[in-house]
Amino acid sequence: MHHLESLTRASPNEALLALNNAFAKETSFLTEADWQQMIAEARFAFHVGTNGFILTFDQTAVYDSPNFLWLKARYDRFCYIDRVVIAASAQGSGLGKALYQHLFQAARRAGFEFVVCEVNLDPPNPGSIAFHERLGFDAVGEQTLPNGKTVRYFASKLV
């Protein structure tokens, strides 16, 4: 069983930021100031020690990510997964699934109808696509971003 905690300014942020930046190709590189800003504005953010974290925003966030804006134009009330990162040593342990299940519970309690996210198609990330489909996410669109990445958008309707 994984011990999940809320991600706050008091969390092991140096290690979690390093973990994020180790996966910058899949997410994006963050400075310490960027990281602190994201934590401050997050709707939900959870971590399991330094092995992984999930960081989300809701539709009220002031966030200029093209992925967030694409989803905001299509959904009135949602919880957007901006990033989820699992340490290589913890991948396959069920940690990602535990983070998502915890998020689904929190989002449902808060009255959100959808949890939404995007996954890279180019560069390809077939493992993440399969993971989201196993968790019940449906593909809802695709977009090529200004940086050349192509993404697929997913939504999970909370029941």
pLDDT tens per residue, range 119-153: 999 888 898 999 999 999 999 999 999 988 899 99
Average pLDDT over residues 2-31: 85
Cβ-proximal residues to 79 (8 Å cutoff; 6+ apart), any chain: 43, 44, 56, 57, 58, 103, 107, 110, 112, 114, 115, 116
Report the alpha-carbon distance of residue 39 to residue 9 in Å, rounded.
7
CA distances, 76 to each of 55, 58, 71, 140, 151 (Å): 20, 10, 9, 15, 21
Position 79 pLDDT exceeds 90: yes
Which residue from 29, 41, 62, 70 is spatially nearest to 154, judged by alpha carbons?
Answer: 70
Residue 99, domain CATH = 3.40.630.30
pTM to 2 decimal places: 0.92
Condensed to tens digits (0 to 9), the pLDDT of residues 92-122 reads 999 999 999 999 999 999 999 999 999 999 8
Domain that holds residue 98: 5-157
SS3 115: strand
Pairing of strands 138-144, 150-157: antiparallel
pLDDT at 58 over 90: yes
Please, where are the H alpha helices in the chain? 13-22, 32-41, 66-72, 95-109, 126-134
Residues sharing a CB contact under 8 Å with residue 95, sequence separation 6 or more, in sequence order: 2, 48, 51, 52, 86
Give 3-state DSSP helix, strand, coil % of the chain, rounded to 5: 35, 30, 35
Q: Tokens 């809320």 identify what position?
A: 6
* Cα–Cα dist 68/34, whole Å: 16
Distance between CA 20 and CA 14 in Å, rounded? 10
Average pLDDT, the chain: 93
* Overall number of domains in the chain: 1
pLDDT exceeds 80 at position 11: no
